[in-house]
Amino acid sequence: MTATSLQRPFTVVSLLPRLLDTNGDAGNARVLAQRIRWGGHDAQVVDVHCRADLPEQVDAVSIGSGTDAAILPARDALRTLVQELRVWSNSKVPVLAVGTGWELLSWGIDRADGTVIEGLGLVAGQAAPRAARATDDIIVASKYGRLIGFENHARDYIGAEASPLGRVLYGTGNGYRASGPLIEGLTMGEVFCTHLHGPVLARNPALADHLLRAAFTRHGLEYARGARAEFVDETAQAARNQVAARLGQPVE
């Protein structure tokens, strides 16, 4: 017997969208839900601010980036969800974490004044201050195609060398390395961490669809991109090409 759909809507959790949505990263949850709908399935986004908001079933998770003022309250709120986060990452629920949201999943955040904010310890590595904020377009070569986005961070990421999301073609990514090419992001199973902020999944639908395939596979279902998504993805490609052309990179 093969199922063709879930008996309930696919549920995408947006974690702490009030604290972690500086660049509209929380919109990545909406991107996943829309692509599921465009593929002909029911989907919902559930905003989770505390444990009481947690839905029974979770099919994908999005964590956005916040301001430095939000780091401590966001960390404390995420700590109350650490068990769930462990279960999700161990059971291959796709998780996207952007910027500060990623840093909070790490061992911790070293601050410029020498103090350390302890992270949740879910992924390897830690954030450490940079000399100057990295604010620019970023282009990354990855297994999920060439990713194009925007980065804006005052910290590097150390300790993701074993499993980066990709190699930096333009921009800063995880930042300074004594040797080897610049890398960007971190992956661990179906947990994806990146500095590409804002609508990274809308601009790079290949990565979105990888996450969706992971979500569907858990239920023995096959994900297929809908016709509407194909149309919208042409707009995304045009947006990416515009950046690539401006930065002297080949267009797709």
Partner 1 sequence: MLARWRKPGGGSAIPGVVVNRIAPGFLAATLNGFPLGLVIVTGSSGKSTATKMLVAVLRAHGLTVFTNQSTANISQGLTSALLERVGLSGRIAGDVAVLEMDEGHGAFIAGSLNPRVVALTNVMVDQIDRFHDSEMVAALLAKIATRATETVVLNADDRYLAELGSALEPTVRVARYGVTPAVLGQYPRGLGYAETTPNRLPTGIGLQLTRVVGRDAAVEFGTDGHSIRLPARGIHYAVDALTALCTAQATLGERFDPTVACASLSAMPAVFGRGEVVTVGGKTIEFVLVQNPSSFQLNVDSLEADTEQILVIIGSDVRDPSYFWPVDTSGLRHVLIASGLKAHDIALQLAYDNVQVDRIEPDVPTALDAFLALPDPASGVKTIIFSADGMRRTRAHLGLVSNAEES
Q: Does 169 bind partner 1 (CB under 8 A)?
A: no
Residue 211 is a binding residue for partner 1 (CB under 8 A): no
Residue 226 lies near partner 1 (rule: CB under 8 A): no
Nearest distance from C-beta of residue 194 to partner 1, angstroms: 13
CA–CA separation, 63 and 85 (whole Å) = 11
- Answer for which of 20, 31, 63, 168 binds partner 1 (CB under 8 A) is 31
* Residue 137 CB neighbour total at 10 angstroms: 16
Strands of 81-125 (E only): list them: 95-98, 108-110, 116-118
Query: Judged by CB under 8 A, which of 10, 144, 150, 216 binds partner 1?
Result: 150
Residue 136 per-residue DSSP state: E
Partners of 188 in beta bridges:
191
Of positions 116, 176, 242, 245, contacts partner 1 by CB under 8 A? 242
> Counting contacts by CB under 8 A, is residue 230 touching partner 1?
no
- 197 forms part of the interface with partner 1 (CB under 8 A): yes
Give min distance, CB of 161 to partner 1, in A.
27
Query: What is the spatial distance between Cα 223 and Cα 212, in angstroms, rounded to a whole number?
Result: 7
CA gap 200, 207 in Å, rounded: 9
Single out the segment in contact with partner 1 by CB under 8 A; choices: 44-52, 114-122, 177-185, 233-241.
Answer: 233-241
Q: Does 232 bind partner 1 (CB under 8 A)?
A: yes
Q: How far is the CB of 171 from partner 1 (least distance, A)?
A: 13
Based on the shown chain and the rule CB under 8 A, indicate whether residue 80 belongs to the binding site for partner 1: no
What angle, rounded to 10 degrees, do the helices at 27-38 and 205-217 form?
A: 70
Number of residues that bind partner 1 (CB under 8 A): 28
Return the CA Rg of the chain. 17
CA torsion, points 244, 246, 247, 248, in degrees to nearest 10? 80
Beta bridge partners of 186: 193
d(CA 48, CA 14): 6
Residue 23 lies near partner 1 (rule: CB under 8 A): yes
Establish if 41 lies at the interface with partner 1 (CB under 8 A).
no
Contact residues for partner 1 (CB under 8 A)? 21-27, 30-31, 34, 67-69, 133, 150, 152, 154, 197-199, 202-203, 232, 235-236, 238-239, 242
